[in-house]
A = this chain, B = another copy of it.
Amino acid sequence: DSNRTLLVLPGDGIGPEVMNEVRKVIAWMGKKRAVGFDIKEDAVGGAALDKHGLPVSDDTVKAALEADAVLFGSVGGPKWDTLPFEKKPERGLLRLRKEMDLFANLRPAKVFDALVDASTLKPEIVKGLDIMIIRELTSGVYFGEPRGIKTLPNGEREGVDTQRYTSGEIRRVCAVAFELARKRQNKVCSAEKANVMHTGVLWRDEATKLHKESYGDVQLSHMYADALAMQLLRWPHQFDVIVTDNLFGDILSDEASMLTGSLGMLPSASLGAPDATGRRKALYEPIHGSAPDIAGKGIANPLAETMSYAMMLRYSFDLSSEADLVERAVENVLAAGYRTADLLTGGLDDKAAAAKGLKKVGTQEMGDAIVKEL
Residues of A within 8 A of B (CB): 85, 88, 90, 94, 120-122, 125, 141-142, 144, 147-149, 152, 156-168, 193, 195-203, 206, 225-227, 229-230, 232-235, 247-248, 250-252, 254-255, 257-259, 263
Contacts and interface: CB of A to CB of B under 8 A. Distances in A.
Integer count of this chain's copies in the complex: 2
Nearest to A227: B254
A90 B147 CA distance: 28
Nearest to A140: B161
Closest 6 CB pairs of A and B: A159-B202, A159-B199, A233-B258, A226-B254, A229-B255, A230-B258
15 contacts: A88-B195, A120-B121, A121-B121, A144-B160, A147-B197, A152-B166, A158-B202, A159-B166, A159-B198, A160-B163, A161-B199, A193-B247, A196-B250, A225-B251, A233-B233
Contacts of A229: 229, 251-252, 254-255, 258
Contacts of A255: 229-230, 232-233, 255
A98 to B, nearest CB: 12
A122 B255 CA distance: 16
Contacts of A167: 156-158
A294 to B, nearest CB: 16
Given A121-B122, A230-B257, 12 more contacts: A90-B195, A94-B196, A120-B233, A121-B233, A142-B196, A159-B166, A160-B163, A163-B163, A226-B251, A229-B254, A229-B258, A247-B247
A44 B301 CA distance: 54
A91 to B, nearest CB: 9
B163 A161 contact: yes
Contacts of A121: 120-122, 233
Contacts of A161: 162-163, 197-199
A225 B253 CA distance: 12
